[in-house]
């Protein structure tokens, strides 16, 4: 069942999501050659303490990080650790925060130093995928319209859409109904209503769409080990347009 949030609940989600996005923004700004993913994780934990929020991923099914840090061919769920970020890497950071009883979930992929132009195009297209999907999160559309918008943008650019992982409803729980694939036909699935809140998160690969999970049980990599990008926002479906809830407070 897809939960439609009341305006007061959206107000609470806006606060949680803004804190989430502010932390992500600050952690992403630390990405640079020579920095370890553990240092990024430590910084996220510190910022979450300052914001008096709880890191949603920490301890989730035993996950040891406060962020997911996924470098280059890593798609999602990378575990922070000793890996040193190098010049030319792309680093996805995914962060979830619980505050005031609601969860915010957001991700970004950022370059470290100078990256290959084709990798930069992958980042740009993945962001365009997210924007296109959010553009369909309007009352009266169907869930499949969100999914299809992403696929069209990705495939027109010559990239592939990860099938094995999808976006999700979000609210008091990190994962609520529905699942939100980033591919599929338009005009199918549940009709969207204002007040539904979703985490939309395209994962787009430079090469094939297939993935594998490494022996750590977490880190998902592309099957062909070509790079992958991931962007995510928590949004609220609106009557005329969606509201992006995970907008950072750049003054804080």
Residues that bind Mg ion (CB under 5 A): 105, 199, 201
Nearer to Mg ion, 106 or 151 (CB): 106
Q: Which of 14, 12, 68, 54 is CA-nearest to residue 235?
A: 14
Nearer to Mg ion, 105 or 145 (CB): 105
Those residues with Cβ within 8 angstroms of residue 251's Cβ, 6 or more apart along the chain or in another chain: none
Nearer to Mg ion, 107 or 115 (CB): 107
What does the alpha-carbon distance between residue 139 and residue 137 come to, in Å, rounded to a whole number?
Answer: 7
Closest separation in Å from C-beta 68 to Mg ion: 9
Closest separation in Å from C-beta 32 to Mg ion: 25
Closest separation in Å from C-beta 197 to Mg ion: 12
Closest separation in Å from C-beta 110 to Mg ion: 18
Nearer to Mg ion, 145 or 201 (CB): 201
Q: How far separated are the first and last CA of the chain, in Å rounded? A: 36
Closest separation in Å from C-beta 76 to Mg ion: 9
Nearer to Mg ion, 90 or 199 (CB): 199
């Amino acid at each position: 069942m897809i939960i439609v949030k009341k305006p007061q609940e959206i107000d609470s989600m806006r606060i949680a999501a803004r804190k989430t996005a502010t932390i992500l923004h600050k952690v992403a700004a630390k990405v640079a050659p020579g920095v370890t993913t553990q240092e990024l994780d430590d910084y996220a934990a510190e910022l979450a303490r300052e914001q008096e929020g709880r890191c949603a991923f920490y301890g989730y099914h035993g996950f040891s990080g406060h962020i997911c840090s996924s470098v280059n061919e890593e798609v999602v769920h990378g575990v922070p650790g000793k890996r040193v970020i190098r010049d030319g890497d792309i680093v996805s950071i995914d962060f979830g925060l619980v505050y005031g009883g609601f969860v915010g979930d957001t991700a970004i992929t950022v370059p470290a130093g100078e990256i290959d132009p084709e990798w930069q195009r992958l980042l740009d297209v993945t962001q365009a995928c997210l924007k296109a999907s959010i553009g369909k999160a309007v009352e009266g559309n169907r869930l499949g319209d969100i999914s299809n918008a992403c696929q069209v943008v990705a495939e027109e650019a010559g990239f592939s859409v990860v099938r094995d992982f999808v976006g999700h409803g979000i609210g008091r729980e990190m994962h609520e109904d529905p699942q939100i694939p980033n591919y599929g036909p338009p005009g199918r699935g549940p009709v969207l209503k204002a007040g539904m809140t979703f985490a939309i998160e395209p994962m787009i690969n430079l090469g094939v769409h297939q993935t594998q999970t490494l022996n750590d049980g977490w880190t998902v990599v592309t099957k062909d080990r070509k790079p992958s990008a991931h962007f995510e926002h928590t949004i609220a479906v609106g009557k005329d347009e969606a509201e992006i809830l995970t907008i950072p407070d750049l003054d804080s």
